[in-house]
Amino acid sequence: MKKVIFSILALAISFAIYSCKDTNGPDNTATVTLRSELQNSTAKLATVKLTDGITKVGIDSIQVKRIRILLTEVKFHSAKEDDESKDNLYKSGPLLYDVDSTGTKIEIASGTLPSGNYSMLKFEIHRFETSELSEYTNSALFKDFATNDRFSVIIDGIHYIGGNGTRFQYKGTPTINYICDFGTTPINLPGNQESVFYFTIDPNRFFRSDVEIFDPSSNSNSQIDNLIKSAILISK
């Protein structure tokens, strides 16, 4: 078994890849499975020292119980290909990143790609188009996103003030084109073998700026959406 971890942005997102299971597929086809994982379910906020930069306090901590993110257009870019318009489409979506604090690793998708070396993984954090809503309104998986508000991120948890906990559900609308660049060492996806990608999120940066902590149950949607974007938006 091999394990390779890519830190995309500190405390925000990482990918771990385990390739350890042979399949019965053809030698020129790789099986790829994408699973979700929550790295840290408690974002301790107001309890940090003021020397750490937090000057506006009020919330003791936020415990994240579940994160759901609507994804689409998952692609892998071949290391030998210069033209990014020729990316290999893995899944066109919609897909749901769904993870909770129990530690269960939930499968997002499974599919195949041509075997070989890949230099980038790409996907979009997505909102349904208005024309798509009726298609998913009754879907057990996607119905919470198929509303007139067209949410792309839903986070359930508990925030604590003075030691007293209150449940919250944060619903946001950020849209992000995400690129995971594997750098100078491309990832090899061998034929006749399953490669499992663990897509890990640490929510510590989702609710705090450098000097302020935002209450997910208040009218802070624009600020929190911007924090989510800044935490996971990267460029090549």
Neighbours of 138 (CB within 10 A): 9
Confirm if 202 and 12 have CB atoms less than 8 A apart: yes
Q: What are the phi and psi torsion angles at 117 (to 5°)?
A: -95, 135
Over the chain (236 residues), what is each successive 10-residue block's mean pLDDT? 38 50 73 81 45 56 86 91 87 88 82 91 92 96 96 90 86 88 84 84 75 74 82 49
Give the per-residue pLDDT at 129.
96
Q: What is the pTM of this model?
A: 0.82
Q: What is the pLDDT of residue 196?
A: 85
Cα 71 to Cα 25: distance, rounded to the nearest angstrom: 27
Which residues, other chains included, contact 56 with Cβ-Cβ below 8 Å and sequence gap of 6+?
Answer: 211, 212, 213
Bridge-based pairing of strands 42-44 and 61-78 is antiparallel
Q: What is the pLDDT of residue 131?
A: 96
- pLDDT value at residue 77: 92
The pLDDT assigned to 47 comes to: 38
- Looking at residue 38, its pLDDT comes to 74
d(CA 128, CA 52): 39
The one-letter amino acid code at 113 reads L
Ordered strands of the 193-201 beta sheet: 2-9, 13-22, 193-201, 29-38, 106-114
Write down the pLDDT at residue 169. 93
